[in-house]
Amino acid sequence: MDRYIKLGVNIDHVATLRNARGGNYPDVIAAAKIAEQSGADSITVHLREDRRHINENDLENLLNNINVPLNLEIAAKQETIEIALNNQPKSICFVPENRQEITTEGGLDVKKNFNYLKEIIDPILKTDIEISVFVDPSEEQLQATKELGVKTIELHTGAYANAFENKLNIEFELDKLRSSAFLAKKLLLNCHAGHGLNFDNVVSIAKISNILELNIGHFIIADSIFNGLKKSIQKMRTIINEASL
């Protein structure tokens, strides 16, 4: 293998499913263990302000139970930063957060919020926690991130994923990601990417030479239904059949 791209598996939606019933099933730690045993280089979770999936308890349990690095996605807000600092994940990825959104809809506007981000992120840059920011693939965002003193960007691949699904402007969106990855290299920024990736659209992304890590969640969790549903139904059928003999 010439080049190895790390895979961070985002397990937020195991917690989404768990929270639908309020108990502890499916267990987030068990899912993280499977991810770890299946080749995930890191586990990613997004601690949202509204705690719609992962909560502080999960974060603590994950850090106590997994053997691969934990990448924590948070909004650049004092409350979540304090939680992150108390838990010491290997890395933090700053993402924009909007209460109404279904998912992280765009990158963090580092240029517009530069002074605020500088003030809030500066103290963490002095710790051992690796910092990245989730940005749209644009030159001005990369330049602003460089100025912030952050060493890693995660490129938002959502617009490309939508283009791929709609079969519209795919090359245009891909070119933005390619040139941003190229610029990241020039600026000596580590380049990660993620959002909306699946078995089909990940191929062109994995060919971009400067990308070091991909973070993928929703599709992997969703696809596992199709890989496991048949077995689960057959097992239930067998148990019911045998018990009712």
DSSP β-ladder status, 190-194 and 70-74? unpaired
Structure tokens at 25: 């099933």
Contacts of 1 (CB under 8 A, 6+ apart): none
DSSP β-ladder status, 211-216 and 6-10? parallel
Catalytic-residue membership of 156: no
Interface residue with ligand PXP, options 35, 59, 196, 205 (CB under 6 A): 196
Interface residue with ligand PXP, options 58, 130, 136, 154 (CB under 6 A): 154
From 13, 53, 192, 195, the catalytic residue: 195
The pattern of x and - marking residues 123 through 142 that bind ligand PXP according to CB under 6 A reads -----------x--------
User: Quick one: which of 57, 54, 91, 88 has its CA closest to 72?
Assistant: 91
Report whether 13 contacts 30 (CB < 8 A): no
Q: Is 107 in the site for ligand PXP (CB under 6 A)?
A: no
Contacts of 20 (CB under 8 A, 6+ apart): none
Alpha-carbon dihedral of residues 175, 105, 13, 202, nearest 10 degrees?
-10
Catalytic-residue membership of 195: yes
Catalytic-residue membership of 192: no
Interface residue with ligand PXP, options 18, 28, 46, 174 (CB under 6 A): 46
The pattern of x and - marking residues 199 through 228 that bind ligand PXP according to CB under 6 A reads ----------------xxxxx---------
Annotated catalytic residues are 46, 73, 195
Per CB under 6 A, residues contacting ligand PXP are: 10, 12, 46, 73, 93, 95, 103-104, 134, 154, 194-197, 215-219
